């Protein structure tokens, strides 16, 4: 049995005329990311170009690496969404939740 995303792709291929251009773009981007992720070494993350550019600008503005910028942004998001608190961070952590 194919996974849920594969099922969505199969269903979309049967009703292309009913899908909007943006729906097709979303499905194709998700498929491309999945294929790309299968060819990447474990522990690496593939960012879509728009996100990569934003993270690189964020990193440059703060004088940190891309990895540190991703950690800062995700930590800030997780705190903002209530998934973690500042108390969960280690005292000497480079990510301080102020992204």
List the chain domain ranges: 4-39, 49-88
Between CA 70 and CA 23 the distance in angstroms is 27
Statement: the pTM of the whole predicted model exceeds 0.85? no
Question: Do residues 58 and 73 lie in contact, with contact meaning Cβ atoms separated by under 8 Å?
Answer: yes
Q: Is the pLDDT of residue 10 over 80?
A: yes
Q: pLDDT averaged over the chain?
A: 81
The predicted pLDDT at position 99 comes to 47
pLDDT at 53 over 90: yes
In the chain, count H helices and then E strands.
4, 0
* pLDDT over threshold 50, residue 76: yes
Percent of the chain with pLDDT over 90: 24
Rounded to whole angstroms, the Cα distance separating 71 from 65 reads 10
- 4-14 vs 21-39: helix crossing angle, rounded to 10: 140
């Amino acid at each position: 049995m194919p996974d849920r995303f594969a099922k969505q792709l199969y269903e979309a291929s049967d009703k292309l005329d009913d899908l909007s251009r943006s729906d097709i773009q979303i499905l194709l981007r998700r498929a491309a990311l999945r294929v790309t992720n299968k060819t990447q070494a474990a522990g690496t993350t593939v960012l879509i170009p728009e996100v990569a550019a934003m993270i690189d600008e964020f990193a440059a503005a703060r004088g940190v690496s891309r990895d540190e910028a991703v950690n800062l942004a995700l930590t800030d998001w997780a705190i903002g969404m209530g998934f973690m608190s500042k108390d969960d961070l280690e005292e000497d952590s480079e990510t301080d939740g102020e992204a």
